[in-house]
Every structure is written in C-alpha cells, then in structure tokens.
Amino acid sequence: MTRWLVPAALAAVALFLVVATHTRQGGWNDASRLAMVEAIVEHGHMWVDGTHMSRFTGDVARIDGRFYSDKPPALAFLAVPVYAAETALGITFRRDLARAYYWTTLLTVGVTTVAGLVMLAWFLHRIVPDPRWRAATVLAIGFGTLNTAYSVTFSNHPPSATALLVGFLLLWRWRRFGGGLASVAGSALATGLAALTDHGAAFYMPAFLVYVLWPGSSRRGAAALVFAAGTAVAIAGYAAYAIALSGSPLPLPLQPRLFDYPGSYFAARAHLAGSTLPHDSLASLVRYAGLCLFGYRGLFVITPLLLFVVWGMLRIAASGDHPHRVEARVALVPTVVLVGYYLLTSSDPGGNAYGVRWFCLFIPMLYVFLTDAYQMLRSWLGRVLFWLAYVVSIPLGLIGAMDPWLDPTPFGSGFAWVLVLRAHHWL
C-alpha cells in the first residue's frame, strides 16, 4: 500500500493547483510579467505601453520614453507559447481575463511546481527509503509553505524555487550517486534558469561551484568547467537582455535611474529593494529582521515547520559524520547570505504580499532535509512539536493561497493570515 503514497501526494498537489489557481491578477508583480507576455504575443515587442495588463501594475521601468516590465524575464518567456496558443483560440487578457489568467498560470507556474515535486520525489528515493516520509515531504511543500500561496498565481517565486531545487538535486546526484557530466550540465542550466527567474538564485552559483570542486569526487575539473560554462550562459544572456534594453548589464531593478519618472513608486530609492541601504540604525535593522522572520509577516510564523528544518540542518552541517553534512552546508550558507542581503537592502518586505515572498526561493531546497531534521530530534517533546508545526503549516499555506497579493491597508494590523481571513469575512 505504501508504494502509492508518493503518487497520491503528487496527485493531491496537482488537484489543488487545478482547483485553486486564480482567475485574475493579484498585484503589480504578476500584472507586470503578464503585460510583457501580452506585448510580445499580441504586439511583437517588449514594451508594455498600451497593453491591457499594464493598467494593473506600477512595476515598470521607463527606458527611452517607453515602459518595460522590470522583472527577470524567464517566466514571461516561458508563458509566451502558452499565451500564443490561447490567443489562437480567441482567449486574450483584454477579452477574457479570467480564462487567460487561469490557463497561463496553471500551464506555467502550476506545471513547473508539480514537475519540481516529481523530481524531488524521484531523488528522495535515494536518501529517504520510507515512502511515508517522501510523501510527507511532498505534501509539506505543496500545501504547507509560503510557496503554496504563490503557486496559484502568476508569480516567479515557485518556478525559480523549482529550478534551484533541480539544480541542487542534480549536483547531489552527480557527486554521491554516480551521475555523469550531464547531471552537472543540467544543474548549471537549471540554476541559471532560476537566476533568470529570480535574481536571488545567483547567490547560490558560487556555493554550487565550490561543491563541485570540493575534494572527494572524480573529474572535478571537468565538472567545474561544465558548471561554470552553463551558468555563464545564463548570466551572459541576461546581461545581453539588460544591455539591449537599458544600455547596462545590471538587472533593471538595480538601476534607480530607470524608475525616476513622475508617479513612480520606486522613485524613492528606499522602495527599490537591493539598490540601497535603507536602515539608519542597527535597531531599525533588528526590528525589520524580526518582522521578516518572526513578526506579522515572519517566515517562521507563516511556515513554522521550516524552523525545525533549519534547526536540524544547522545540527547536520555542524556534524562531523552525518552523511549529508556537506550538502546541508551548501544549501544553508548561500541562504543565510541571501536573507542577510534582503534584510540589509530592503525596508518593505515584498510589498502587498503574503509573508516575505522573496524567501520562497530556497524553501523547497531546504525541505529536502525534512526527514533528516526530524531524525535529529531526540526528545518526544521535540517530535510532538515537529508534527504540530507540520499540521499548523498547512492551513497557514492554504490561507495565503486565498489572497497572496492582498493589500492589507483596509484590514488593520495583525499576522498575515489574520488579514486574509478578515478580507474574506472569515474573522
């Protein structure tokens, strides 16, 4: 009977995505990307002026008098053939927003989310022999994380998290389970794709390269060249894209001059995450870190199970003999650096969004260690609290999926999940 648990878990997540995927844009973020998709498919150019979806976003950069989506382009490019097929059937954002949004989201974000979980289940068979734990890991990611909230909208965060996860797993397979250089090449392409979908994924490239070069594996030199070349293609591709648009290889959000136009929310550089140091004191930084990690929008408040995963990974990484200690370090070190970067360079955690959406990037990768983290708990109390956190994380993830882009202003203050329930008259 247990052999059906993992397929059943995957099917449950897929069914959830089919049922729960939204039918309209939720905020500036998804509308900006969809405006780019609409511009490419319907008008044959990149600027979004005059598109239907551009009416719903302020996430745009002005270049030579025209407006462009400021988002990393990979998700929009992925959606272009999907939306092109829809327009051939007469479904457009202007004429039938509900159907166009639903199918574009489901066939890009939804499909890649399920594909990532399938890849994870395939890999976990090597390190987690019990199918009950493999199924529990799939269900935890699919239903009980911050990623759950964004997997039902046209958000870059779940696809980038999937690509980063795949890159990590393919390198692990190469190093520990006899994968060839094709695994390294696949990892490089997946990691590069993650960075083209979410710039934060670039923080993982050096750590992954160090992992390839770490003593103990054969053909390290050749593997390092393959990985470096593969990720360099992604970096060069984005640099060429940015130069073609703006004249600079820097990501568009890191060029404040592109947002200096009348009515721009991002003309105030403090609103442009990653481009400045907005905190004027250590106390301000500490308060902001508390908000993002343990406060109303806190990562560990919305996904409490992750606290146990991180704690377990820290113990594994510090271990001298755990078989997965090196992999835990490779995952944790760039994650800590990335979180620190976001805390230092932002003062608004992702705008109108459920939790701190930037943190979606690394959650599936950390959940690879879910079973290991549980096994590091020695006391019965710790294990009871683990399962309590597991159970609580699921409704918190599902509540976020109801309204991940909620503007909290009319609903007072409180935890993110409280505001969503208020908005839907459940509280």
The pLDDT tens digits for 18-56 are 999 999 988 888 999 999 999 999 999 999 999 999 999
* Average pLDDT value for residue range 347-351: 81
* 416 and 301 fall within a common domain: yes
- The residues with which 418 forms a beta bridge, in sequence order, are none
Residue range(s) defining the domain that contains residue 416: 276-427
pLDDT value of position 349: 83
The two three-digit tokens of residue 4, written as one number = 């059906």
- Sign of dihedral through CA atoms 196, 119, 19, 9? negative
204 with 254, same domain: the answer is: yes
More confident: 219 or 275: 219
Please tell me the predicted confidence (pLDDT) of residue 407. 83
Q: Domain boundary residue among 260, 291, 316?
A: 260
Per-residue pLDDT at 1 exceeds 70: no
Q: Does 104 lie in the same domain as 20?
A: yes
Same domain for 286 and 245? Answer: no
Tokens (6 digits) for 339: 């979180």
Residue 210 tokens, joined: 């160090």
Instruction: Give me 191's structure tokens.
Output: 């990691």
Average pLDDT, the chain: 93
Q: Are residues 10 and 144 in the same domain?
A: yes
Residues 282 and 426 in one domain: yes
Using one digit for the tens of pLDDT, what is the confidence trace for 372-400? 999 999 999 999 999 999 999 999 999 99
Most confident of the following: 155-159, 267-271, 422-426: 155-159
Q: Is 344 domain-assigned?
A: yes
User: Residue 173 carries which side chain, given as an amino acid letter?
Assistant: R
User: Residue 367 pLDDT more than 80?
Assistant: yes
**Tally of CB atoms within 10 A around 207:** 17
**289, part of any domain:** yes
Do residues 427 and 301 both lie within one domain? yes
In the chain, the number of structural domains is 3
Would 271 be classed as within a structural domain?
no
Same domain (yes/no): 254, 288: no
Question: Residues 242-250: what's their mean pLDDT?
Answer: 91
pLDDT in tens, 171-192: 999 999 988 999 999 999 999 9
> What local confidence, expressed as pLDDT, does residue 420 receive?
93
> What is the pLDDT, as a whole number, of residue 23?
93
Q: Kindly state whether residue 81 falls inside one of the protein's structural domains.
A: yes
One domain for residues 74 and 162: no
The answer to whether residues 177 and 204 belong to one domain is yes
As a whole number of angstroms, the distance between CA 125 and CA 132 comes to 11
Query: For tokens 């083209």, what's the residue?
Result: 196
Pair (311, 399) in one structural domain = yes
Between 27 and 270, the higher pLDDT residue: 27
Residue 268 falls inside a structural domain = no
Residue 244 has pLDDT above 80, yes or no: yes
Domain membership of residue 89 (yes or no) is yes
Residue 180 lies in a domain: yes
**297 in the same domain as 230:** no
Residue at 266 is within a domain: no
